[in-house]
């Protein structure tokens, strides 16, 4: 980030709290919870039957006519990214081919895209008839599959499930020909994608970049994976709104969901030349690794998160006392929240007990590769509105958590905000935003 300054000039989000970033921010301020019993499939037999699901939408409303046919090749992860991308461009005042081909004001070759994406699990209902045609004596028969079942799989099936297809569909719709990447670092993916996109701008490879993440975790395979890893709460199925409890003494695990969050990152001079409104400057990124053979959890002392926060502060050239808001990863998984709280304290020292900490997953659910992007959008909204909404479901802080979790909404002049994230597996990330004057 040495050469040029990178700012946020627009954002979009589709979340369990609504179809736009505006909806999301209003709901967060109102303390609304987007978690409910799963309706995408019948979750009977699942330990956790809750999820954060996006309200109904029609994908056709979000794509230009020329791309309508291609919506058949969109898994839900791709759809969510397409919806949020459109909002982000419009919000930033950028006119792309997909928005109005007569009045394009971007340079396609100088516009990058970098999307954090998850492992897209296939639609089992779509695949089932092919499997059913491949049964011998009540069992799946690979010989029959190769001869008969396979023919029943739709020809372009694979293209729905390649993680880079989020960026490809969005790039095709809006004609983005610059550097394009897809970061697959689970729940740290969106922050890492933003870091890389900012760096493509800083090094002069692009002027504008669409960056963030999207993932649709409300799929039986994804949900069962989280259940088997004991990352979900299984005790709160009757109480969806109080189920996900980051940093709370009664936390029992996380609740997963679906969303997309994308921001427009832009070279400051480029934004100034076109008179764009600047919502925040991204001044520091930190990245590291959690090293824990128990891959599904953060290491107990949260060292990988601590290092990421320290690096981000160093890059931003600020001290811990300069932070006015922290949005932690805070999943509601007790061991991970404990480790993260410890890491924040270790990185920030005495300041950690004072800075307002506002976890969002109690309302938004844990949306995987989208999660970090939603937090950045929320932080930018908090900065621009000058307020921090109340944290939800942290009624009694967990023992050993000394963070200042905000239980009441508060007016705040937020000059610097920190967001952090980590993945099962190990990657960690921290982002620092600065309010622009």
Partner 1 sequence: MAERVVITGMGIVCPLGNDVQTLWQAILAGKSGVAKTTVFDASTFPTTFDAEVKDYDLAEYTKNPKLHKDSNRGSAFVVGAAVQACRQAGIDVETTEPADGIDRGRLGIYLGAGEGSVDNDVFFAAIVEGWDTEKNEMDWGRWAKVAFARMDAMRELEQEPNMPAAHIAILTGARGPTRSCLTACAASTQAVGEATMMIRRGDADVMIAGGAHSMIHPLGLTGFNRLTALSTRNDSPQTASRPFTASRDGFILGEGAAVVILESLTSARKRGVEILSEVIGYGSSADAFRVTDMHEEGRGAIQAMTAALADAGISYKDVDYINTHGTSTAENDLIETKAIKAVFKEEAKSTPASSVKSMLGHLIGAAGAAELITCVLAIRDNIVPPTMNLIDPDPQLDLDYVPNEPRKMPVNVVMNESFGFGGQNNVVIIRRFS
The yes or no reply on residue 253 touching partner 1 (CB under 8 A) is no
Three-state secondary structure call for residue 419: strand
Residues 156-175 within binding reach of partner 1 (CB under 8 A) = 156-159, 161-165, 167-169, 171-172, 174-175
- In the complex with partner 1, the residue whose CB is nearer, 9 or 199, is 199
Per CB under 8 A, the list member of 135, 239, 249, 353 interacting with partner 1 is 135
Alpha helices, H only, 161-286: 165-174, 189-202, 220-228, 268-273
| Minimum distance of partner 1 from residue 270's CB (angstroms) | 18
| Minimum distance of partner 1 from residue 50's CB (angstroms) | 15
Nearest 5°: the CA angle 23, 217, 184 is 100
> Residue 238, class by beta-carbon neighbours within 10 Å (0-12 exposed, 13-18 middle, 19+ buried)?
exposed
Residues 319-378 within binding reach of partner 1 (CB under 8 A) = none
Distances (CA, A) of 433 to 6, 23, 350: 10, 22, 21
Residues 373-402 within binding reach of partner 1 (CB under 8 A) = none
The yes or no reply on residue 225 touching partner 1 (CB under 8 A) is yes
| Minimum distance of partner 1 from residue 95's CB (angstroms) | 16
Q: Which stretch binds partner 1 (CB under 8 A): 256-264, 295-303, 358-366, 409-417?
A: 295-303
Q: Which stretch binds partner 1 (CB under 8 A): 18-26, 150-158, 374-382, 397-405?
A: 150-158
CA distance 170 to 84: 10
CA distance 355 to 113: 33
Q: Which residue has the tokens 């970049």?
A: 209
The yes or no reply on residue 236 touching partner 1 (CB under 8 A) is no
- In the complex with partner 1, the residue whose CB is nearer, 229 or 335, is 229
Q: Which stretch binds partner 1 (CB under 8 A): 180-188, 271-279, 323-331, 353-361?
A: 180-188
Q: Which residue has the tokens 């516009």?
A: 111
The yes or no reply on residue 436 touching partner 1 (CB under 8 A) is no
> Residue 256, class by beta-carbon neighbours within 10 Å (0-12 exposed, 13-18 middle, 19+ buried)?
buried
Q: Which residue has the tokens 């939800």?
A: 392
- In the complex with partner 1, the residue whose CB is nearer, 83 or 165, is 165
- In the complex with partner 1, the residue whose CB is nearer, 18 or 149, is 149
Residues 13-72 within binding reach of partner 1 (CB under 8 A) = 41-46, 70
Q: Which stretch binds partner 1 (CB under 8 A): 234-242, 253-261, 400-408, 418-426?
A: 418-426
How big is the site for partner 1, counted in residues (CB under 8 A)?
Answer: 96
- In the complex with partner 1, the residue whose CB is nearer, 55 or 146, is 146
The yes or no reply on residue 140 touching partner 1 (CB under 8 A) is yes
Q: To which H or E segment does residue 303 belong? A: helix 303-316
DSSP letter assigned to residue 396: S
- In the complex with partner 1, the residue whose CB is nearer, 224 or 390, is 224
| Minimum distance of partner 1 from residue 92's CB (angstroms) | 18
| Minimum distance of partner 1 from residue 361's CB (angstroms) | 19
The yes or no reply on residue 288 touching partner 1 (CB under 8 A) is yes
Would you list the DSSP string of 139-170?
EE-HHHIIIIIGGGS-TTGGGGS-TTHHHHHH
Neighbours of 400 (CB within 10 A): 10
Beta bridge partners of 210: 113, 264
CA distance 435 to 184: 29
The yes or no reply on residue 128 touching partner 1 (CB under 8 A) is yes
């Amino acid at each position: 980030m040495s050469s040029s300054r990178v700012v946020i000039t627009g954002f979009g989000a589709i979340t369990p709290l609504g179809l736009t970033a505006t909806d999301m921010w209003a709901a967060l301020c109102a303390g609304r919870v987007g978690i409910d019993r799963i309706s995408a499939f019948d979750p009977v037999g699942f330990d956790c039957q809750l999820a954060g699901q996006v309200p109904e939408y029609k994908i056709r409303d979000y794509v230009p006519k020329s791309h309508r046919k291609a919506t058949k090749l969109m898994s839900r992860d791709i759809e969510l990214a397409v919806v949020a991308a459109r909002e982000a461009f419009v919000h930033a005042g950028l006119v792309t081919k997909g928005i109005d081909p007569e009045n394009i004001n971007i340079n396609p070759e100088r516009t990058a895209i970098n999307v954090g994406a998850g492992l897209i699990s296939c639609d089992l209902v779509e695949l089932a008839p092919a499997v059913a045609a491949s049964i011998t004596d009540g069992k799946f028969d690979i010989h029959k599959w190769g001869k008969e079942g396979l023919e029943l799989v739709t020809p372009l099936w694979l293209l729905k499930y390649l993680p880079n297809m989020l960026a490809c569909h969005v790039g095709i719709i809006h004609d983005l020909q610059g550097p394009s990447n897809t970061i697959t670092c689970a729940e740290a993916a969106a922050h890492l994608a933003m870091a890389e996109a900012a760096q493509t701008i800083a090094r002069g490879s692009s002027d504008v970049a669409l960056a963030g993440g999207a993932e649709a975790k409300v799929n039986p395979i994804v949900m069962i994976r989280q259940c088997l890893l004991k990352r979900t709460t299984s005790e709160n199925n009757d109480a969806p709104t109080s189920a996900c409890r980051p940093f709370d003494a009664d936390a029992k695990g996380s609740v997963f969901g679906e969303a997309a969050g994308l921001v427009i990152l832009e070279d400051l001079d480029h934004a100034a030349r076109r008179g764009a409104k600047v919502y925040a400057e991204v001044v520091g990124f930190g990245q590291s690794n959690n090293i824990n053979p128990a891959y599904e959890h953060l290491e107990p002392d949260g060292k990988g998160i601590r290092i990421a926060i320290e690096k981000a502060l160093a890059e931003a050239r600020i001290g811990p006392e300069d932070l006015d808001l922290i949005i932690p990863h805070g999943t509601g998984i007790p061991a991970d929240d404990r480790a993260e709280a410890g890491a924040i304290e270790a990185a920030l020292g005495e300041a950690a007990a004072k800075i307002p900490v506002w976890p969002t997953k109690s309302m938004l659910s844990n949306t995987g590769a989208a999660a970090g992007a939603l937090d950045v959008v929320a932080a930018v909204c908090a900065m621009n509105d000058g307020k921090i909404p109340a944290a939800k479901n942290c009624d009694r802080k967990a023992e050993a958590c000394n963070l200042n979790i905000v239980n009441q909404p508060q007016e705040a002049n937020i000059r610097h905000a920190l967001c952090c994230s980590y993945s099962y597996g190990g990657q960690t990330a921290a982002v620092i935003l600065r309010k622009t004057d």
